[in-house]
Structure 1
Amino acid sequence: MDQSEDPSGGSRTLARPKAARRSAVDPQEPQRPDRRSAILLSAEALFAERGYAAVSVRDIATRAGVPIALVGYYFGRKQELFGTIFAHRQVYITERIARIEEVDCGPSNPNAVADLVRAWAEPVITLRGSEAGDVFSLLVARTAWDPGPEATAIIERFYDPLARAFVAAMGRALPDVAGDRIVWAYEYAVGALLMYVGDKRIERLTHGRAISADPALCADFIRFISAGFNTLRQGDPPA
C-alpha cells in the first residue's frame, strides 16, 4: 500500500493496482505434445524390438524426445514403466477372460473346445491386425520368451489369470482329462499362438506367399489347436 498526502493536510492510503493472476492452467497446455503417451509408446516399441534388458531409460527418453528425468517423473523405475505398458492394455486381457467364461462348457455344447480356443485366440489375432497391436503382440511374444525376472513377473501378473481361466474352462469341457495334461496342452497352444502372431519365418519359408499373423487363417489356427485338445480325449499316450 502507498502513503499519499491528503489536500486537507492528512494522509491517505492508496491501493496498488492488483497484479494479473496467473491461470492455474497454462493456456498453451492443450497444444503441448502428450509427453506421457510419447514415453509409453517409445518404451513399448523399444521393449518389443530389443527385449527388456537391452533397453535403457535413456534410450526411451531419446526416442520419445523428452528429458530423461521425465521418464522417472511419470513412471518411476524402468521396471515400473514396463508394468504400466501391460496395465495400459489390460482391458484386452480382461476381454479374453470374459469371452472364455461365457462359453458353455457343458455336455450340451459339442463345440465347447473350439469355442474356448476361439475366445482365447481370436482377440489376439484381431489385435495383431492394427499398427499398435502389431507392436504390443511382438512385445508379448518377446516377454513370454524372456527368461529374465522382470519378464517372468509380467507374465505371472497379467497372463497367469488368463491361463487359469482357460485351463479351468477346458477342464469342464474335457472332464475326463487329467488337469496337468490340459495345462501342458495349453502351453503347446501358447507356443503356437506366439509363433503365429510374432514370427516372420513363415514369410521366408513360403517365399512371401504367406504373411505372419494373417487374420484370414484364424479359422485354420482354431481348428488346429482344437484338434490338439480333442486328442486328449483318447486317454494317456502310449508309453
Structure 2
Amino acid sequence: MDQREDPVPDPRSLRPKAARRSAVDPQEPQRPDRRAAILLSAEALFAERGYAAVSVRDIATRAGVPVALVGYYFGRKQELFGTIFAHRQVYITERIARMEAVECGPSNPQAVADLVRAWAEPVITLRGSEAGDVFALLVARTAWDPGPEATEIIERFYDPLARVFVAAMERALPGVGRDRIIWAYEYAVGALLMYVGDKRIERLTQGRARSADPALCEDFVRFISAGFHTLRRE
C-alpha cells in the first residue's frame, strides 16, 4: 500500500503572525474628553430624534470619534441610554427632596400648591437653562416613547418619583382615593410634558408666547393645583 507523504507546509504559514491591533487606542482610558463627547452627543441625538431613530454610528459621528469607542465606554446603545439618565439623576433627586420637604398635613393650607411646585418647578427651570435644556427635552420625548427601552427608563428613574408625589398628595388630600390621585398625577404629567416639550403654543399665539417660558411657572402651578383640589370637592 502506497504511503503518501505529508504535504510540505507553505513557508509563509510558518512566519509568526503579527499581533492583532485593537480597534481602540490603548491610551483611550486617559481620554475622558471623548467619553464626555459621546455622552453629550447621544443625549442631544436621543432628544432630537428619539431612541429608536438613533444609531451608534450617528452618535460616533456627532461626537467625532470612532464607532468602536461608543461600545468601549458605554457598552450597548441601551446601556448608553441609561447612563445618560444616571448621569443626570441629580435633577430627579432634587425634585424628590423638595417634595419630601413639603408639609402636607392640615397645618399647611397651601400643601397642594407647594407639592405641585416642588414637583414641576425644577423641570421648568431646567428646560430654560443652557445646561439642562437638552435633557429636559429628552425626558419629554422618552415619556412619550412607547418603546421598551424608554419604558424601562421611566420605570427605573421616574416611577419612584411618582410614588413619592402620590403618597404626599394623599396626605394633602385626605379622603381622596389613591387611584384618583394617580389619575390626576397622569393628567399633570401630560400637561408638564406639553409645557416643556411642545412648541405649538408659539404657533397658536403667533410668536407672542414661547415654549417652556419659566415666567409662567406659577400659572402652571395654580392650574394643576386647582385640578387636584376638585377631587376633594366632589
Fold match, TM over 0.5? yes
| 2:46 pairs with 1:84 | no
State the TM-score, normalizing by the size of structure 1.
Answer: 0.85
Q: Percent identity?
A: 89
- The 5-angstrom pairing of residues 1-239 of structure 1 reads 34-235=33-234
Find the aligned partners of 1:132 and 1:219 in 2 and give their Cα distance: 22
Find the aligned partners of 1:229 and 1:202 in 2 and give their Cα distance: 24
Find the aligned partners of 1:218 and 1:150 in 2 and give their Cα distance: 31
Find the aligned partners of 1:199 and 1:111 in 2 and give their Cα distance: 29
Find the aligned partners of 2:52 and 2:121 in 1 and give their Cα distance: 30
Q: CA offset at residue 162 of structure 1?
A: 0.3
For 1:165-205, what per-residue CA distance to the aligned partner results, in whole angstroms no more than 9, with x for missing partners? Answer: 00000000001100000000000000000000000000000
State the TM-score, normalizing by the size of structure 2.
Answer: 0.86
Higher mean displacement: 126-135 or 100-109:
126-135
For 1:46-78, what per-residue CA distance to the aligned partner results, in whole angstroms no more than 9, with x for missing partners? Answer: 000110000000000000000000000000000
Secondary structure at 1:49 match in 2: helix
Q: CA offset at residue 132 of structure 1?
A: 2.9
Q: CA offset at residue 33 of structure 1?
A: 7.2
Find the aligned partners of 1:135 and 1:205 in 2 and give their Cα distance: 24
Q: Which runs of 4+ in 1 moved over 3 A?
A: none
Q: Compute the RMSD of aligned alpha carbons.
A: 1.1
One-letter amino acid matched to 1:158? F
Find the aligned partners of 1:108 and 1:135 in 2 and give their Cα distance: 39
Q: CA offset at residue 89 of structure 1?
A: 0.5
Q: For structure 2, which runs of at least 5 residues remain unmatched after alignment?
A: 1-26
One-letter amino acid matched to 1:72? G
Secondary structure at 1:176 match in 2: coil
Q: For structure 1, which runs of at least 5 residues remain unmatched after alignment?
A: 1-25
Q: Which residue of 2 aligns with 1:16?
A: none
Change (3 A) 1:33 1:177: closer
Secondary structure at 1:54 match in 2: coil
Q: Aligned residues, how many?
A: 206
